[in-house]
Amino acid sequence: MHFFTRLTQWEYHPWWLANIPVYGFWLWFAARARHLIFFSNVNPAIPLGGAMGESKWDILKLLPPEILPKTIQIEGGEEFEKVMADLEQVGIPFPLIAKPDVGERGFLVKKVENPEALHKYLSRWPVKFILQEFLTLPVEVSVLYHVFPGEGGTFGISSVCIKEFLSVRGDGRSSVRQLMAQNARSAFQVPRFERDFPAVLGKIPDPGETVLLEPIGNHSRGTKFLNGNSLITPEMLAAFEPICRQIPDVHYARFDLKCTSVEALQRGEFKVMELNGILGEPAHIYDPSHGMFRAYRDLYWHWRLLFRLHRVQRKRGILPTPLGEALRFAQGYFQYKKQLI
């Protein structure tokens, strides 16, 4: 049954397969722009506009401090005593979030419960990491915005995605493994839990007990993405615009954030975990009710928006990254990833 779900439902297709039409959108607009990575001038503050290999730390430093959680960057192989001292100085308690400074799609992002687990985690991968306060705010959302450059350039929000974390509800008889098997979304995560959290699978929750299985709001980890575009109101636009206009040379980006409620979101009251550049997808397209054809329609619209932003930037004298420079940057990124696999 679950195999049929993976075969027929677009949101479960492998990313390389689901994105085949998107490659066509990219090449179409690249041909019109006469530059393969035309989008790289949309966000001059981020290497390649945020297509790959950008430093999360460098991007976070661009954001207004009032919307940031407590965060530090640590060097690869840094003495653990210094790491703990830096955490204490900034006031980041456990549990916390650890993630590579460079990475995508939730790669190696982990909620770390105690110093022993953090020491083990950092010892395994000797690269730069970000350690961030774990936000307990109950609502996690992705918000994609754009700002046309120049005085009077228009501002807009084109995607709001509300995230529903992976969980199961107990019946007093079934184990977590059995409860996960009842639903395709959670069933697809069982192999990962067998590898990383085997002890959880054998637990039998009480009747009516909700067990949160995954605190990281990533689609590849079973989080359900819901279309929240109905929340894009004049109030929300007015609250977000002054915040987004403070971020220099970033004209198309997606906030991954947490807030207390959707009402707080519309008032612009939130904390940002990450800001993704030009390949920050309009995440609402993964809503199961949205459908494949509407998803590709929305993706085409966003690639067209990137092309329009590119043309405005080009008229202002801001050119895309030369192809040779981009290839060298990409090569360095792929070599970096090999260290972590």
Kindly report the backbone phi and psi dihedral angles of residue 264, in degrees, each rounded to the nearest multiple of 5, phi listed first.
-65, -40
Three-state DSSP at 310 gives: helix
State the pLDDT confidence band at 23, using cuts at 50, 70 and 90.
Answer: very high
Q: Which residue would you say has higher pLDDT here, 6 or 98?
A: 98
Helix 292-315, helix 20-33: angle, nearest 10: 20
309-320: average pLDDT: 98
Judge whether residue 4 has pLDDT over 80. Answer: no
Domain positions in the chain: 7-69+135-165+214-312, 70-134, 167-213
Architecture label for domain 7-69+135-165+214-312: 2-Layer Sandwich (3.30)
Check residue 94 and give its pLDDT: 97
Cα 169–Cα 171–Cα 173 angle in degrees, nearest 5 = 130
Give which of 280, 226, 228 is closest to 256, Cα–Cα.
280
**Residues 30/248, Cβ–Cβ less than 8 Å:** no
Check residue 2 and give its pLDDT: 63
Give which of 52, 48, 24 is closest to 38, Cα–Cα.
48
Whole-angstrom distance, CA of residue 87 vs CA of residue 115: 11
Judge whether residue 182 has pLDDT over 90. Answer: yes
- pLDDT digit string, tens, across residues 82-112: 999 999 999 999 999 999 999 777 677 899 9
- pLDDT digit string, tens, across residues 41-66: 999 999 999 999 899 999 999 999 99
Burial of 271 (0-12, 13-18, 19+ CB in 10 A): middle
Check residue 150 and give its pLDDT: 85
- Of all residues in the chain, the percent with pLDDT exceeding 70 is 96
Whole-angstrom distance, CA of residue 288 vs CA of residue 309: 30
Q: How many CA atoms lie within 13 A of 263 on its CB side?
A: 0
Judge whether residue 123 has pLDDT over 60. Answer: yes
Give which of 134, 121, 57, 136 is closest to 83, Cα–Cα.
121
- pLDDT digit string, tens, across residues 130-163: 999 999 999 999 999 999 998 789 999 999 999 9
For all residues of the chain together, what is the average pLDDT? Answer: 93
- Of all residues in the chain, the percent with pLDDT exceeding 90 is 80
**Neighbour tally for 222: CB within 10 Å:** 24
- pLDDT digit string, tens, across residues 203-239: 999 999 999 998 888 888 889 999 999 999 999 999 9
**Neighbour tally for 281: CB within 10 Å:** 21
Architecture label for domain 70-134: 2-Layer Sandwich (3.30)
DSSP string for residues in 150-213 = STT--EEEEEEEEEE--EEE--SSS-HHHHHHTSHHHHTTHHHHHHH-HHHHT--PPTT-EEE-
